[in-house]
Amino acid sequence: MSLPIRNVAIIAHVDHGKTTLVDALLRQSGTFREGEDIPECVMDSNDLERERGITILAKNTAVRYKDLTINIVDTPGHADFGGEVERVLGMVEGCLLIVDANEGPMPQTRFVLKKALEKGLRPIVVVNKIDRPQAEPYKAIDKVLDLFIELGADDDQCEFPYLFASGLAGYAKTALDEEGKDMQPLFEAIVRHIPPPVGSPDAPLQLQVTTLDYSEYLGRIVIGKIHNGTVQVGQQAALVKDNGQIVKAKITKLLGFEGLKRIELETASAGNIVAIAGFSDANIGETITDPNNPQALPLIKVDEPTLQMTFAVNDSPFAGQEGTFVTSRQLRDRLFRELETNVALRVEETDSPDRFAVSGRGELHLGILIETMRREGYEFQVSQPQVIYREVNGQPCEPYECLVLDVPDEAVGGCIERLGQRRGEMQDMQVGGNGRTQLEFVIPARGLIGFRGEFMRLTRGEGIMNHSFLDYRPLAGEISTRRNGVLIAFEEGTATFYALKNAEDRGVFFITPGTKVYKGMIVGEHNRPQDLEINVCKAKQLTNFRSSTGDELVQLQAPVEMSLERALEYIGPDELVEVTPKSIRLRKMSRKLARR
């Protein structure tokens, strides 16, 4: 007997409309009452997700359709958060692959689809944003089929059903010439093409932990799918740790999902996705099972990180002035706590108690961690990101990325030239006919470090850049990522308008008058390749002399604003980014740190 449940993940490239489509499904399923004020992208509940307009954490919801419960897992589209995708795909039997009708499959589409096909999931392709002016839905489907074949999909997977949709307008349809009314065709496709869970309610209990949450009242909450067996409140269960150790505990609370809410349950059986309290030391990938017949499920396999940075205690002259958590113990505890939920992250202690080697999937993955810690009140400093090399078949190798650029036609030559200098090899070039060209490259990951700022200048802010990890390949040789030298503050003090105006011909500044600076702090970029120390605190000498032009309005050039991402891309090997809850500063590495 098939269970009245469907478990489905929504996967796609970043910004192809996954979360908006989930909004439409939630609206039609009656999750929201009439007249309720519903925010856009309701599943993106995290502040950073709302600010950046991307999904960072995988989240699940449940909707009712006829007599079925459909569990929907919304996953991130950015490859830097691939660990989130990999750990939740074991909870589902099928996936909705969302593809933009204009862009077609993009680098992250390849990444998330490859993971889904490896798990043997049944895909339904949804061509989204068909109401856009440049939409080419059938061309997008042809590209998706090519991608399926390229990724080695079997015959069943290549015979995928497809629908056309507009998540924003809230409709889906099986043919382009039909009138789009609502999301019912998509619900029907899920019921028809996604298989029900295969677990047995009568077998010994097996539940794999895929997400961790925390409640002040219940403590740690584990979320996962019941693969086999039945769970009841108050029952004794065992947790099989990743090292094989078995820990017994009682299930104190059992929660199910209904729309955006969690509801209390007395019992749940195989196929359901539930939240359980009672296991205070459970970690992702471990199995909750029958204490009399403990059977562990295979641990979740996650790809290894490709980028590493050093997180260190802040030792600048302004250390401890703006942060709440500033000591090495507090920094260490926070980083190791992050490992419990961030499965793609690695943290290693170094020979110094004040520094930690933190490895992640990319600059965005590590940047989000830094921004989150900063908002929590942590103060620390980080080094330039470095790629992680590996030995494959006895040969030293480095990570390569698949890079896709969408640029104005006049910027094509400049982008090709710069990426050639960074060892990029062009794979494809498509002229769009609308004044834009799409370029595809394979490039070493270290060739992309610091490229985004250069790319924005080349395209005057009109370029779109996407990349995802491809594989490890032999070393590409030396890469020259030329950058001008920096302007370094000569002494501690407060920057003055007079000093900045006098030094304006030396380069561009990152600071404004009134900014507090210290010796060794980077205050701007020099016009020439070498670094230059300047005095930005010099004040104008007051005299009795009155100039005839003294009252004229004098203005400074607009400074370059250094956001966290821009700062991480900008710094060189001998430089650091100082991160506090109130400020982002760039500085030269002290000799003490450089020697280490």
pLDDT at 594 (0 to 100): 44
Residue 564 backbone phi and psi in degrees, to 5: -60, -50
pLDDT at 373 (0 to 100): 93
pLDDT at 596 (0 to 100): 41
**Sheet holding 287-289: strands in order across?**
246-250, 236-240, 287-289, 206-215, 219-228, 273-277, 253-258, 261-264
Per the CB < 8 A criterion, the answer to whether 218 and 277 are in contact is yes
pLDDT at 82 (0 to 100): 61
DSSP output for 464-533? EEEEEEEEEEE-----------EEEESSSEE--HHHHHHTGGGEEES--TT-EE-TTEEEEEESSSS-EE
Angle between helices 18-28 and 184-193 (to 10 degrees): 100
Distance of alpha carbon 492 from the chain centroid: 37
CA 397/CA 390 separation, integer angstroms:
5
Residue whose C-alpha is closest to residue 342's, from 11, 82, 77: 82
> Which two tokens mark 539?
């004040």
pLDDT at 517 (0 to 100): 93
Neighbouring residues of 428: CB distance < 8 A, sequence distance ≥ 6: 438, 439, 440
Per the CB < 8 A criterion, the answer to whether 518 and 316 are in contact is yes
CA angle 582, 585, 587 (to 5 degrees): 150
Query: Which residues sit in the known binding site for GTP?
Result: 15-20, 128-131
Residue 158 backbone phi and psi in degrees, to 5: -70, -20
Q: How many CB atoms lie within 10 A of CB 544?
A: 4
> Which two tokens mark 399?
């990570």
Residue whose C-alpha is closest to residue 273's, from 263, 244, 283, 281: 263
> Which two tokens mark 20?
């908006």
Per the CB < 8 A criterion, the answer to whether 331 and 380 are in contact is yes
pLDDT at 79 (0 to 100): 58
Q: Which contiguous run of DSSP H or E holds residue 368?
A: helix 363-375
CA 101/CA 61 separation, integer angstroms:
26
Residue whose C-alpha is closest to residue 302's, from 365, 350, 349: 365
| Domains observed in the chain | 5-193 (3.40.50.300), 206-289 (2.40.30.10), 390-474 (3.30.70.240), 486-571 (2.40.50.250)
Per the CB < 8 A criterion, the answer to whether 429 and 487 are in contact is no
Low-confidence ranges of the chain (pLDDT < 50): 1-2, 32-46, 49-50, 548-552, 591-596
Per the CB < 8 A criterion, the answer to whether 197 and 257 are in contact is no
- Cα 52 to Cα 15, 44, 55, 424, 585: the distances in Å are 11, 10, 9, 28, 22
Beta bridge partners of 588: 575
Q: What is the β-pairing status of strands 68-74 and 287-289?
A: unpaired
The sign of the CA dihedral 57, 58, 64, 66 is positive
The CA radius of gyration of the chain, in Å to the nearest whole number, is 27
pLDDT at 553 (0 to 100): 57
Residue whose C-alpha is closest to residue 261's, from 61, 68, 72, 73: 61
- Cα 501 to Cα 3, 462, 504, 510, 554: the distances in Å are 73, 31, 5, 13, 9
Dihedral angle over CA of 102, 108, 111, 114, nearest 10:
-20
The position carrying tokens 């490709």 is: 306
Residue whose C-alpha is closest to residue 538's, from 491, 506, 487, 586: 491
Q: What is the β-pairing status of strands 521-526 and 486-489?
A: antiparallel
pLDDT at 119 (0 to 100): 82
